[in-house]
Structures are given as structure tokens and as C-alpha cells.
Amino acid sequence: MSTPEQAHPEHSDPAHPGHPAHHHHAATRERTTLPLALFGMPLGVIGLAGGWYAARTDLGAPAWPDEVLYGIGTALWIVLSVVYIVSGLRATTGGFRSDLKHPVFGPFAAYIPLIGILVAGHYSLYLPNAGPWVTFAAVAALAIVAAQLVSHWMTGGIRLQDFHPGYFVPVVAGANVASIGLSQIGQHDAAIGAFAAGLFFWLVIGTAVIVRLVAHEPLPVPLRPALSAFLAAAATSSLAWIISHPGPIDEVQLGLTGILVIMLVVQFLLIPEYGKLRLGFSFWIFTFPIASTTNYAVRFFTTTHLIGWQAWAWGILGAATVFVVVVALGSIPRGRRTEKPRAQDAPAPA
């Protein structure tokens, strides 16, 4: 008897609606909403915009690169959000609640409010009256989504083998982004609280993910880009602290930087695994970890003034920009291709 994956061969890209990972939780349920993984596009673009904004303030870069990137990312976020909401309202099955419970893509439901925090934090510079209120609303929305996810996980909604590094998104990267947004609107105490929440879940979820990766079968090839979430957790933690504690680098910052460096080395060693993937939508998941690391690197080098700090900062920013452009170009459809499904491309059984 053929499996759903064998009966319907599609792209090997997990962000594609036809990918078998979208049937991971319930193979018989028709997907009626926009794939949440597509929100990785505006997240990556806005993440890169943050790096260019840091370069504007610390390296004297012109304003237009970050403003253009923020504009593109915001437009993508709005369009995707509207399509997702409308398709959810029209759907006879599925919807946001169902997506939250999906063992593969459920954590990515946090993308929508997480991006909202980044957008609101930036445009608070130009809308000082409305910006903080929008930031508070986005932080509250993220907190509600994260709480729903955690309560689902705690009540047996998923099994240990369902865990993957993407579970860092709502409660670790999300908490750190909330801390960054709150710092941007001058709410230092709340920012520290959000950072502490992210630190707690970094330890808890990180332990669960490591146990899953060590004790169970390897992640399917299409889901291996989620391993970059280890880098995103370290980068956003470092960013959250340096933004809430401007000035000389302290011991906490040095410790976080050390963790980030180790996670960066791990990602370099994983390049052969990532190389098994075809360039496409799945590569967008790499863009935010790389962009947030770039943002932090610019801030770190301009604060420490290490030897060659300007060259390092500009070089890292340039490399990250080239990478995002390559991913964007690689995501442009070039005609439908039918591939034979490979066993290693199928997600872990639910």
C-alpha cells in the first residue's frame, strides 16, 4: 500500500503546500490555509533590515537600505497575514487553532506576532505615539500564542520525537524579540522580564530538543534547516541583552557571545547536511538566524573596537545581504518539477 507521500509526489521543499510535511499531523485533512513557513520570508528580510539599521547608527551606513528592507518585509508580512486570515475564515477545516496543534509547523504560528513586534519597534521611531501601543499589542499576541503552544505541549499534545529546533521560535527567539521591542520603546524592566522568559525556555526546550535529536532518528532532510534555530536562539539572546544594556560589554554579554560563537561553528559544520537541500523556500529559514547574528556582530564590533572591527562588521553585513538576495532569487518559481519522493525527505511519523 502506498503512503500519502508516494501517492502525491511534490516538491521536496517543506514550505511548499504540497510537501508531505504538511500532512504530518493528519494525512487525511486537506490544507486550507497558507503555509506558516512562508512567513520566514518577511522575517528574514526584516531581520536583515535590523542589521542595516545597526550599520546606519554604528557605521554611518545610509538610511535607504534598512528602510527599503523594512518596507519590503512589512509589505510581505501584511499580504501574507491577510491571505492567511482570509483563507482561514473561508476554510471548512483546519485554521489557526489546527495549525497551532500541528507537530511540525505549529511553533511557526508565532511568526505572525513576532514579525509584528519587529515592525512596530522600527516604526515607533516615526510614530512615537502609536508605535509603543502597537508594540504592546504584538507582544501580548505573541505571549498568547506562546502560552497556547506551551499548554498544548504540556498536556500531551505532542510526543518527544515530534520535537525539532523550530520549537525555539515562539518561546526563545520570540521572547528575545519581545525583549528587543520593549527596549526600543523604553520599557527596560519589561524587556528584562521577556529576556528571562526566553532564557528559561532556552534551557527547557533546548534540553528536550537535544534529547530528541540524540535519542531518536535523525531529522528528515527537509526539516534539517530547522537546526539553524540553535543559532537564532543564541543570536537573539545576545541582541536582546546588548540592546537593553548599551555601553561597554559586560560579563553576561561575553558569556552570551561565547555561546553564539559555538553555535556559529556548529552551523558551519552542518553545511554538508544543508547542502543536501535544493535551493528554494526552505532556505528562508536560514535567513533570520543569519540576519540576527549579523545584527549582533555589527553592534558587538562597533562596541569593542577590536582590530579591524570596521572591516569585520562590513564584511559580515555584506555576506549576509548576498545570502538573502541569493535565497530570494532561488525562491523564484522556474516551472513545476516532479520529483520522485525520497524516504529521507519524509517527516518523522506522527
Q: Using one digit for the tens of pLDDT, what is the confidence trace for 227-270?
A: 999 999 999 999 999 999 998 999 999 999 999 999 999 999 99
Residue 343 inside a domain? The answer is: no
Confidence band for 201, pLDDT divided at 50, 70 and 90: very high
- Contact predicate 128/174, CB 8 Å: no
- Contact predicate 132/124, CB 8 Å: yes
Mean pLDDT to the nearest integer, 92-114? 83
Alpha-carbon distance of 191 to 243, in angstroms, equals 10
Alpha-carbon distance of 303 to 306, in angstroms, equals 9
pLDDT per residue as tens digits for the range 289-298: 999 999 999 9
Residue 24 inside a domain? The answer is: no
Residue 346 inside a domain? The answer is: no
Residue 291 inside a domain? The answer is: yes
pLDDT per residue as tens digits for the range 34-74: 788 899 999 999 999 999 999 999 999 999 999 999 999 99
Residue 135 inside a domain? The answer is: yes
Residue 25 inside a domain? The answer is: no
Closest to 37 measured CA to CA, from 222, 290, 267, 233 = 222
Alpha-carbon distance of 50 to 294, in angstroms, equals 9
Residue 253 inside a domain? The answer is: yes
Domains in the chain: how many in total? 1
Element (H, E) at 308: none
Question: Which residue range(s) make up the domain with 106?
Answer: 33-331
Place of cell 504592546: 136
Residue 93 inside a domain? The answer is: yes
CB burial of residue 112 (10 Å; 0-12, 13-18, 19+): buried
CATH assignment at residue 285? 1.50.10.150
Q: How far out from the chain centre does Cα 13 lie?
A: 17
The pLDDT > 90 percentage for the chain reads: 61
